[in-house]
Structure 1
Amino acid sequence: MVELSLSELSKNPALLDTLEEIAEVKNRKTRSIKGYFIPARFEERFRELLEELDYESFKARNRSLGLEGSFDDATLSDGLD
């Protein structure tokens, strides 16, 4: 796994075009991990996981907006009609 800093990416975003492996994106000042870059060639392996994570984020946004529990039918608050 390659390690990239936020400053490297902000100065040279074309780095992402040349990456062939997974990269860990870090803030070198705070030493905190900000995210991961996964090349598109791995998409098939991660597609289902990404959809699950996206759905969980969607439900959390609805909860934070107070939409959960404001309907008689709980299926409406999770986006299912």
Structure 2
Amino acid sequence: MLCLGWEAWAKEEHFEVEWFHAYSKYPAGYGINTYDGPNGNYKGNVDGSYPYGIFARKDGYIDIGQNTWVKEEHFNVR
């Protein structure tokens, strides 16, 4: 199911969806800080070894899932 916003849902089978992914600009193993929200508290880091699905974008940050935000400047989004 796809959330269309405001609690409106639709079956994914009725849409052709191309999801965006974030690819690290740095070599695998390079630590990229994660935060609990845009301009939020430090949470840990990711190594950027594989592309991350994007769930939201806000104020120069992207949500890569489970309320884990990273600065968009460290990723190529496509």
TM-score w.r.t. the length of structure 1 is 0.22
Higher helix share: 1
Higher strand share: 2
Higher RCO structure (Cα 8 Å, ≥6 apart): 2
TM-score w.r.t. the length of structure 2 is 0.22
